[in-house]
Amino acid sequence: MSDRPLTVSQAAEQLGTGERFVRRLVAERRIEFIRLGPPGSTRGPIRIRESAIAVFLAAGRVEVVTPRHGRVIAR
C-alpha cells in the first residue's frame, strides 16, 4: 500500500462513509491528519494518509470469539 495523502472526499470513499463523518473524526482528533497552509493555521485543506486510515480501522476492529459450545459471539 502506498502512503499517499488523501483528500477528505477520497478518505470518505476509502472508509465507505460520507465526508461529514471524516470531518468529525478530524475535529475530534480521532484520526491523524495533515493541515496544509501556514503553521498554526486552523483553516485550510486537510489531507489524511492512507496509513492513518489503516490505523483507525485497526483500532476499531472487533475480533470474533468462538466459545466451546460452537456459537459465535462478537466481543
pLDDT at residue 66 in the model: 74
Q: Where does the pLDDT of residue 23 fall: very low under 50, low under 70, confident under 90, or very high at 90 and above? A: very high
pLDDT at residue 9 in the model: 97
pLDDT at residue 17 in the model: 96
Domain count, the chain: 1
26: domain range?
5-74
> Average of pLDDT values for 60-65?
83
> Average of pLDDT values for 42-66?
90
Average pLDDT for the chain: 89
Report the C-alpha gap between 26 and 22 in whole angstroms: 6
Question: The pTM is what?
Answer: 0.77
